[in-house]
Amino acid sequence: MNTVSIVEIVIAAILFLIMILSMFNKRVRKLRVAILVILLDICLLTHVGVTYITEEPVLALKGNSVIALEANETYIDPGIQASYHKKDVQKDVKIQGKVNTKKPGEYKITYEYHYQKDKVKQLERIVKVEDHVAPKITLKGQEKLTIYEDEEYKELGYTVEDNVDQDLEQQVKVQKNEVSKNEYELIYTVEDSSGNEAKAVRNVILKKRQTSQNTQTNSDQTKEENGNSTKKPTSNSGIIYLTFDDGPSLDITPKILDILKQENVKATFFLLNYGESKEKLVKRIVEEGHTVAIHGYSHNYKKIYASEQAYMQNLTKLQTKIKNTTGVTTTITRFPGGSSNTISSFNPKIMTKLTKKVVEEGFRYYDWTVDSNDAGGAKTRDEVYNNVTKGLIRNAKNTVLMHDFSGNQKTLDALKAIIQYGKQNGYTFQKITTDTPMVKHKINN
Ligand SMILES: [Zn+2]
């Protein structure tokens, strides 16, 4: 464009001079004016032609040429402005390049406008996906625990969550630091692929063994299932909360209550709606010192997860009924399917809303940490027993999911052995109360 304008100006200047000069010469005036006009015409036509051919399209990025965003944010391209010969040609611009916001890094977006035969005008934008969110280490078992000084600490494990990286568990480093003669701390650290660091600390306190007591506590007649006849007394401050869902039932619940009574263990019953014939059972649960809690008036997922209102009605309807039967107003509840269920995904985000809502309304909800799977894959007494005993974590709070629905003989048959296993391994049994910290699964809907 520039060079053309200069040529033009020069031509125009020459023409101007010729014109001025011709003004002073009358004889040749007419002829010279004619020539002048012709020259002017040629000049103008050349100008138009040349500028048309040499003019380039104008491309300008909307938004910044470098855009930074946090991992997992959505990237929306701000687009581009493009014009050619004063016409908007935005829609003819090809945009190339993809941004994977799940993976931190630099991504290039190119904008190309093809014009004339083989000419291209191009612009670029850089999108930087950054991860500034640190992973989170969650320790399994207690953060502060006591073991005997001659006992070896067995790692209780941990989980790592991160917004970007998947398998960070394998990369956790554990460092042991002596705090004092009878205490050390375990420092767990891990870094995600962007260098964000997470840390967790577990304190291990060593105590002296009191020689007189411990060898006697395990003198029950029942033998451990694993055939380990020489039992080593080990310290274990673990708690087991036995919980029974989907009852009461006339055939199973009374027998469960009998066993709990014999073993002097208190448990928690998450009830469904019950008929008149079962009212006695609900009263018995309370009278024998167990926790009566709400699973829901109905267990029908389609109905109860249809709306927040439907769910809250399902909850309070049974709360009122239990109050009328027993005089107890219970605020302890468990979502049918658990708060982590995906069966409710026909109503997107309902669990996210409900887990907030029930707490706002004064309820406390309890998922589980150990699944007996007695409403799923476990078909025999031994499977129930193994699922529970293998799922227990020492020195931790264990909430065990079981069911007392009608016909669930396998759980009934496994219960006594489960309780004895717990006692022999130093666990204490407790019922859930409103002082018990809530047990929450990860929400999946
Ligand atoms: Zn249930």
- Catalytic option among 245, 367, 374, 404: 245
User: How far apart are the C-alpha atoms of 230 and 333, rounded to whole Å?
Assistant: 41
pLDDT digits (tens, 9 = 90+) for 106-158: 999 999 999 988 999 999 999 999 998 889 999 988 888 888 888 888 888 99
User: How far apart are the C-alpha atoms of 205 and 207, rounded to whole Å?
Assistant: 6
User: How far apart are the C-alpha atoms of 153 and 399, rounded to whole Å?
Assistant: 23
Give the model's pLDDT for residue 197. Answer: 87
User: How far apart are the C-alpha atoms of 112 and 121, rounded to whole Å?
Assistant: 6
CA of 162 to the centre of ligand 1 (A): 31
* Residue 331 pLDDT greater than 90, yes or no: yes
Q: Which one is predicted more confidently, 96 or 43?
A: 96
Give the model's pLDDT for residue 29. Answer: 65
3-state SS assignment for residue 191: strand
Question: What is the arithmetic mean of pLDDT over 374-388?
Answer: 95
CATH for the stretch 136-207: 2.60.40.10
Q: Is 245 a catalytic residue?
A: yes
Record the pTM: 0.52
Q: Cβ of 246: how many Cβ atoms within 10 Å?
A: 21
CA of 425 to the centre of ligand 1 (A): 29
427-444 burial, b if ≥16 CB within 10 A, otherwise e?
Answer: bebbbbeeebeebebebe
Tokens read off for 119 = 């000419």
pLDDT digits (tens, 9 = 90+) for 416-431: 999 999 999 999 999 9
Please identify, in words, the CATH class of the domain defined by 58-130: mainly beta
3-state SS assignment for residue 53: helix
Residues 6+ apart with CB under 8 A from 190: 135, 137, 160, 168, 171, 172, 173, 197, 198
Closest C-alpha among 178, 223, 222 to residue 203: 178
User: How far apart are the C-alpha atoms of 58 and 82, rounded to whole Å?
Assistant: 6
* Residue 330 pLDDT greater than 90, yes or no: yes
Tokens read off for 336 = 């049918």
CATH for the stretch 239-429: 3.20.20.370
- Catalytic option among 246, 371, 403, 404: 403
